């Protein structure tokens, strides 16, 4: 057994794309004798950062501060920063944090082998190199291991970057323009994921509906589309589910809706950030749709796909947003029966158009107050959505078993998600992680559902009943 291996610890902030990048970075490092370790035992500490809001950026800096102190005790450890803050702040980070050894970006994780070598090479005078490697163009991906986090779900990026330039958003600057991965690469990765025993694949992209638009046309003038890709993945053998995120409202095609409707493995769930319910604000955000168009797409999806869940993102206090305009956001959540929404107070980001609208900034106490009302609306909407599920039978993919030794006796509770992404808890003595189990929903709470496991007999009866109903 190898005992010489060095240990790396990666702290990951931000979205699923960052989580996926971390799995790839760990995989690359595993080829260079770095095993995953804890923060305390690591020889190499990496922070994979997010800069979507000031708060996420600050989190990265405070962690670097902690690691800087650690380095005073353990001078041989190496500290690196990567991800969106690194891509945005570049070499200024080396100046700001004198104990930082390496800065690399979102475009060049496949350059890590060379960077590590340079980092670990001592100069003739005994000093080590401090490196900043940020690229504006993506370094081509190479075949390396991927060390995925354990669980039932595997992230599978299908494209990276964004061409939308919403005025508040830093992502186009930190992740670059849209770049789709090849269909063959994605299919091969999906097959490996299934072979490795994962039960769910989540396809990732800032705007999945743009998949393939950056490819050249083939000899018949065609390009791969997101709908084609979904259909291809749905054909793969095995008992697993497919999810995808994020959809841009007006880019969702009828083909995608039809494909989701007809597929077996693709879950009935769309994440469609609306950002604001007011047309003037949407325009100022450079979102390419209005409230009526958003309504149209939501209605179309709901009409075509039974039990579909539609979730969204909203920003409170975008520069110049009035109280009346904000109320349009509250009413949108209710009118479109959005099942769940992520919310945030507007945070000015460097180099973005909205970040320069300083004379129109909303005072932070007003932003906070609007955010609180927004959260309250989301909470009520979530409960209303969950209440509608009572009496339904959902197939739950078990993610977790909670063994509760409660005052009122031992309880073994299985926790998982329905196809439409609702969290469901149910008592079970036999359910195992990774099982698909039919559960009848009995109770609705704000953020989850409670139900009863159906045995085989019940399931067959329920299925018969459902198919009779459909006839």
Q: What is the per-residue DSSP string for 22-43?
A: HHHHHHHHHTTTEEE--TTT-S
Which of 315, 396, 424, 441: binder of ligand SAH (CB under 6 A)? 315
Minimum CB distance to ligand SAH smaller for 180 or for 438: 180
Is there binding between residue 60 and ligand F3S (CB under 6 A)? no
Strand order of the β-sheet with 153-157 is 153-157, 200-204, 241-245
Please list every residue from 160 through 189 that binds ligand F3S, using CB under 6 A.
170-171, 174-175
Q: Is 171 in the site for ligand SF4 (CB under 6 A)?
A: yes
The two structure tokens encoding residue 227: 């709908």
270 close to 301: Cβ distance less than 8 angstroms:
yes
Count residues near ligand SAH (CB under 6 A): 17
Is 82 one of the binding residues for ligand F3S (CB under 6 A)?
A: no
SS3 of residue 148 by DSSP: coil
Q: Binds 329, which of ligand SF4, ligand SAH, ligand F3S, none (CB < 5 to 8 A, cut-off by type)?
A: none
Burial of 142 (0-12, 13-18, 19+ CB in 10 A): exposed
Using the minimum distance from each CB to ligand SAH, give the nearer residue, 317 or 451. 317
Determine the Cα angle at 299 with ends 256 and 346, to 5°.
Answer: 90
- Distance from C-alpha of 27 to C-alpha of 15, rounded to nearest angstrom: 19
Judged by CB under 6 A, the residue of 313, 440, 452, 458 near ligand SAH is 313
To the nearest whole angstrom, how small is the minimum distance from the Cβ of residue 458 to ligand F3S?
Answer: 42
12 forms part of the interface with ligand F3S (CB under 6 A) = no
Q: Name the helix (H) or strand (E) containing 21.
A: helix 16-30
Contact with ligand SF4 (CB under 6 A) among 26, 60, 133, 169: 169
- Residue 84 interface partner, choices ligand F3S, ligand SF4, ligand SAH, none, CB cut-off 5-8 Å depending on type: ligand F3S
10 Å CB burial of residue 58 (0-12, 13-18, 19+) is: exposed
Candidates 52, 156, 231, 284: give the one binding ligand F3S (CB under 6 A): 52
By CB under 6 A, tell whether 366 contacts ligand SAH.
Answer: no
Tell me the residue nearest to ligand F3S as measured from the CB: 14
DSSP β-bridge partners for residue 160: 179
Residue 361: DSSP 8-state: P
Q: Is 102 in the site for ligand SF4 (CB under 6 A)?
A: no
Residues lying near ligand F3S in the complex (CB under 6 A) are found at 14-15, 17-18, 50-52, 83-84, 170-171, 174-175
């Amino acid at each position: 057994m190898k005992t010489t291996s060095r240990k790396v610890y990666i702290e990951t902030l931000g979205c699923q794309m960052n989580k996926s990048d971390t799995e790839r970075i760990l995989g690359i490092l595993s080829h260079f004798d770095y095993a995953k370790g804890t923060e305390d035992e690591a020889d190499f500490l990496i922070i994979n950062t997010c800069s979507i809001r000031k708060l996420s950026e600050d989190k990265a800096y405070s962690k670097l501060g902690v690691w800087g102190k650690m380095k005073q005790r353990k001078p041989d450890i190496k500290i690196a920063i990567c991800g969106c803050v690194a891509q945005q702040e570049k070499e200024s980070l080396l100046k700001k944090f004198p104990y930082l050894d390496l800065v690399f970006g979102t475009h060049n994780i496949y350059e890590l082998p060379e960077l590590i070598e340079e980092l670990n090479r001592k100069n003739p005078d005994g000093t080590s190199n401090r490196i900043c490697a940020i690229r504006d163009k993506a370094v081509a991906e190479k075949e390396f291991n991927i060390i995925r986090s354990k669980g039932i779900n595997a992230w599978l990026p299908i494209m990276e970057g964004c061409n939308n330039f919403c005025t508040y958003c830093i992502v186009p600057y930190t992740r670059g323009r849209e770049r789709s991965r090849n269909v063959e690469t994605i299919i091969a990765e999906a097959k490996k994921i299934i072979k490795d025993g994962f039960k769910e694949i989540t396809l990732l992209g800032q705007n999945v509906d743009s998949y393939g638009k950056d490819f050249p046309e083939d000899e018949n003038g065609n390009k791969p589309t997101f709908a084609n890709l979904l259909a291809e993945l749905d054909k793969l053998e095995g008992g697993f589910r497919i999810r995808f995120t994020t959809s841009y409202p007006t880019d969702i095609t009828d083909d995608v809706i039809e494909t989701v409707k007809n597929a077996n493995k693709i879950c009935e769930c769309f994440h469609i950030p609306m950002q604001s319910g007011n047309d003037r604000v949407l325009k100022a955000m450079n979102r390419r749709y209005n409230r009526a168009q958003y309504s149209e797409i939501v209605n179309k999806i709901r009409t075509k796909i039974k039990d579909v869940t539609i979730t969204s993102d909203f920003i409170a206090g975008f520069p110049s947003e009035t109280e009346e305009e904000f109320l349009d956001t509250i009413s949108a959540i209710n009118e479109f029966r959005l099942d769940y929404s992520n919310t945030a107070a507007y945070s000015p980001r460097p180099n973005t158009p909205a970040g320069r609208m300083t004379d129109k900034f909303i005072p932070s106490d007003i932003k906070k107050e609007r955010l609180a009302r927004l959260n309250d609306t989301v909470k009520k909407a979530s409960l209303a959505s969950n209440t509608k599920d009572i009496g339904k039978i959902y197939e739950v993919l078990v993610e977790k078993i909670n063994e509760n030794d409660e005052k009122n006796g031992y309880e073994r509770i299985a926790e998982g998600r329905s196809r439409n992404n609702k969290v469901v808890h149910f008592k079970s003595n036999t359910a195992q992680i990774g099982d698909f189990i039919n559960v009848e929903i009995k109770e609705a709470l704000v953020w989850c559902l409670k139900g009863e496991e159906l045995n085989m007999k019940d399931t067959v009866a329920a299925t018969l009943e459902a198919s009779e109903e459909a006839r």
